[in-house]
Amino acid sequence: MRDTRESRLLLVLLIAIAFALITVDIRGGEESPVDGARQAAATVFGPVENGVSAAVDPVGNAIGAVRDSGDRHDRIAALEHENATLKTKLGSDDRNASKVRQLDTMLKSAGAGQYGIKAAEVIAIGAAQGFSWTITIDAGAADGLTRDMTVLNGEGLVGRVTTVGPNTATVLLANDPDFTVGTRLEKTDELGFATGQGSRPLSVQFLNGKAEVKKGDRLVTFGSSKDKPFVPGVPVGQVVRVDPSGGDLTRTVYVEPFVGFTKLDIVGIVVQAPREDPRDMVLPKQPRKPAKPKPTPTVTVTVQPNGDLVDGSGKVVGNINEKPDASASAGASGSPDPAAGDAANEQE
C-alpha cells in the first residue's frame, strides 16, 4: 500500500474508531454493546488459540526443562565433586594418622636400640622385581643408602637393602626363601640361623641340638661383621612350634615374624649402627602373667563314736550331740529371764 494522504487519513480514522469502541466497552461493563461481538470472536478463535497453545507449550516446557536440567546437572556435578573431595580428605586424614602412628612406633624402637635410621615409604612390592619377596622404597643413594643395610619398622626386622638407585632402593624381605639372618634367643643367648619361607613361619636352626626352646620364646638378630647386612638386637619373631631334636646336631624351630610383610608402609633403614649391642632392649615388654589364686585353707574334721568332732591336730572342736545352751540365749550373765519366770507362774 502506497503512503498517500488518503491512506494516512484512513489510518487515523481507524484508530479513532478503535478508541471509541474501547471507551464504549469499558463504560458499558457487563452490558457492553460490543459484548456479543467479543463472544462471537471467542467462539471462533478460541479453539484456534487452544490448538496453538497445545502445540507451543510442550516446546516451551522442553526448552525450560533443558535450561533447568543444565542447572541441575551443574549442581549435581558440584555436589559430587564436593563429596569426592570430602571422601579424599577423610581418607587422607586416616592414612596420615596411620603413618604418624607407624613412624612414632618406629622411632621409639630405633631409640631403644640406638639405631640411626633414615625413614622411607614403600612405593612398590615384589611384582616389579620378579617373584621374590621384595619392596621398593622412595630413598636411595642420594639419601645415604648403600647395599646390605638393615631395614626395620616399629615391629621388628623387615629385611636388607639389595639394590640402590639414585632415589629408590630395593629391599629383600625377611620372609623370602633366599633370606637368612643370624639370630639369638632371648635370655638364653642360643644362636641360630633363620630362613624365610614365604607366607609360612621362619625356619630357625639352632646350633645347639639340645637347646631348650619352648613356644613363646623370642628371637633378635645376632648381628654381622661391621654391622652389615644386619645390626644386632632387632626383633625377629616368636617361636610357634618346636621340632623334637631327635639327637641331631642342630634343632629346628618355627618362628612367626613380628612384622606383617603384606602391610608394609613406613620403614627405616639403619644408616648408623649402635655403639653397643642393645641385646633384648628393643623387644617389647612381656605382658605380666595373671597371679595364681591363693588356695583356700581347708580343715578336716573327724566324727568320733561318742559324737566328738576332732580336727587334724587331735583337738576336740565340738560334739554333734550338743544342743544350743538355753541360758546363752537368755543373756550373757546366765540369770533367768524375768519375763520367762512370770509366764511360768501364770501357767501354775
One DSSP character per residue, 77-131 reads HHHHHHHHHHHHHHHHHHHHHHHHHHHHHHHHHHHHHT-EEEEEEEEEEGGGG-S
Q: Grade residue 330 by pLDDT with cuts at 50, 70 and 90.
A: very low
Supply the DSSP symbol for 8: H
Q: What is the pLDDT of residues 148-187, one digit of tens each?
A: 999 999 999 999 999 999 999 999 999 999 999 999 999 8
Name the least confident of 3-7, 116-120, 127-131, 134-138: 127-131
Give the relative orientation of helices 35-113 and 5-28 as an angle to the nearest 10 degrees.
Answer: 80
For residue 192, what are the β-bridge partners?
Answer: 183, 206
Supply the DSSP symbol for 66: H
Give the percent of the chain with pLDDT over 90.
45
What end-to-end distance do the CA atoms of the chain give, in Å? 155
pLDDT value of position 134? 94
The Cα 170–Cα 139 span in angstroms is 9
The Cα 150–Cα 161 span in angstroms is 7
Flag whether pLDDT at 316 surpasses 90.
no
Q: Grade residue 9 by pLDDT with cuts at 50, 70 and 90.
A: confident
SS3 233: coil
Q: Which residues contact 6 (CB under 8 A, 6 or more apart)?
A: none
Higher pLDDT, 183 or 20: 183
Q: Which residues contact 170 (CB under 8 A, 6 or more apart)?
A: 129, 134, 135, 136, 161, 162, 163, 164
Q: What is the pLDDT of residues 146-159, one digit of tens each?
A: 999 999 999 999 99
Q: What is the pLDDT of residues 70-104, one digit of tens each?
A: 566 676 677 777 767 766 655 566 678 888 899 99
The Cα 280–Cα 116 span in angstroms is 18
Q: How many CA atoms lie within 13 A of 255 on its CB side?
A: 33
Q: Give yes or no for a contact between 231 and 78, defined as CB atoms under 8 angstroms apart.
A: no
